[in-house]
Amino acid sequence: MNANLDQIKEVINKSNNIVFFGGAGLGTESNIPDFRSKDGLYNMEYDYPPEQILSYSFFINNPKEFYRFYKNKCLKPMINASPNYAHLALCELEKRGKLKAIVTQNIDSLHQKAGSKKVLELHGTSFNNTCTKCGKKFTIEDVLNDKNDIPLCTCGGIIRPDIVMYEEGLNNQVVNESINYISNAKTLIICGTSLVVYPAASFVNFYKGNELILINKDEVPHEENINYVYHGKAGEVFKEIVEI
């Protein structure tokens, strides 16, 4: 049901067990493009669709093309990005003891940059990277500043980001913890996600309460099942509902 910001603010003010479930839309006001907005990565011209480039088989078979896309379209916007008001407001809600966990599909680590402590990254993070041969760890700077087309470890192995690529499974512990927080939440805020990337999107179905809030720029599937729906930009909305 459509709601106004006063209604959403009241639910948040009264709740002491909020869980946040977010996606790429949270990064757009920090200048990181999402996938499915009009100016998102799916609407840019490439030789291959982004979900194909960001798949495990593509990484194995075409690492050079994978890294050309990934460095330019993911790492460069992410490396120096700053958290926006939505990230900061969520951190504030956690500090006040109201927000119990952030479950995110994002790989930009902006929640941690904002200061949030309990962040469950369903799809991993671009900020950690690992040699596929010897397991040595690398930073995002190591990968971005590597002058080779494909970043290589000193042992000769290819370095891969610690993100969950398409075709790969999610980390079981992160999944179980996310489901646990969502199923025990009094209030669940869904924000900045098209809710079409599975299995992540299915986790919101574990919510059992009647304070389900959606804050999203565009419509998502099955909005009729959501208690409070507001279409708007996350940063602007959080400015209205959470004072820092």
Q: How far is the CB of 179 from ligand NAD (least distance, A)?
A: 17
The two structure tokens encoding residue 175: 């999944």
Q: How far is the CB of 131 from ligand NAD (least distance, A)?
A: 23
Q: Give Cα 34 to chain centroid, integer Å.
A: 10
Q: Which of 87, 123, 222, 231 is catalytic?
A: 123
Q: How far is the CB of 42 from ligand NAD (least distance, A)?
A: 7
Residues 170 and 191: their CA atoms lie apart, in Å, by 21
231 catalytic? Reply is no
List of residues contacting ligand NAD (CB under 6 A)? 23-25, 27-29, 32, 34-37, 40, 105-108, 123, 192-194, 197, 216-218, 233-234
Core vs surface per residue 207-223: b (16+ CB within 10 A) or e: bebebbbbbbbeebeee
Is 123 or 160 the residue whose CB approaches ligand NAD more closely? Answer: 123
Helix (H) or strand (E) holding 65: helix 63-69
Is 153 or 214 the residue whose CB approaches ligand NAD more closely? Answer: 214
**How many Cβ atoms from other residues are within 10 Å of residue 198's Cβ?**
8
Is 83 or 151 the residue whose CB approaches ligand NAD more closely? Answer: 83
- Contact (CB, 8 A) for 39 and 202: no
Residues 10 and 12: their CA atoms lie apart, in Å, by 5
Residues 106 and 70: their CA atoms lie apart, in Å, by 14
Is 108 or 211 the residue whose CB approaches ligand NAD more closely? Answer: 108
Q: How far is the CB of 45 from ligand NAD (least distance, A)?
A: 17
Helix (H) or strand (E) holding 138: strand 137-139
Q: Which positions are annotated as active-site residues?
A: 123
